[in-house]
Amino acid sequence: MALPYMLKHRGFPGRLPGTDFQFVLRRASKSGATPLVARERYADRKPADRRADAGFMQALWEHFGDQPFERGNLDAGRLSWLFGREVVPAEDPFDNASYEAMLVIDVDHARASFPDAFERGY
């Protein structure tokens, strides 16, 4: 059985530097993409988890800016912490279980949630 098509975002960091927080997948799953779901970020999350969210948001912004992007090999778990708030569907209808789904950063929401990720003036 052939693996589903999955765009690999060249140059995108594989993980948060110095940690095991994964940002991308190496290869597509035989069973297809894991569905994106909006995960609730509670105030009592660990500081390391918060840094991973901020680092991922910064990597998304530096790589894609305000332009729509294909989900591709971006990690579903990491995306799900931002999905529905800082990262939103860029197409209608939206297939949350597709590697080819198009997403976009909601810049106003992302700047409010992760101001440090935008301080470079992009």
Q: Tell me the whole-structure pTM to 2 decimals.
A: 0.90
- What does the pLDDT read at residue 76? 95
For residue 2, what is the DSSP state?
A: P
Q: How much is the pLDDT for 121?
A: 44
Measured from the Cβ of residue 37, the count of other Cβ atoms closer than 10 Å reads 12
Task: Note whether 78 and 71 are within 8 A (CB).
Answer: no
pLDDT at 17: 86
Q: What is the residue-level pLDDT of the chain in tens, covering all 122 positions? A: 566 788 999 999 999 988 889 999 988 888 889 999 999 999 899 999 999 999 999 999 999 999 999 999 999 999 999 999 999 999 999 999 999 999 999 999 999 999 988 875 43
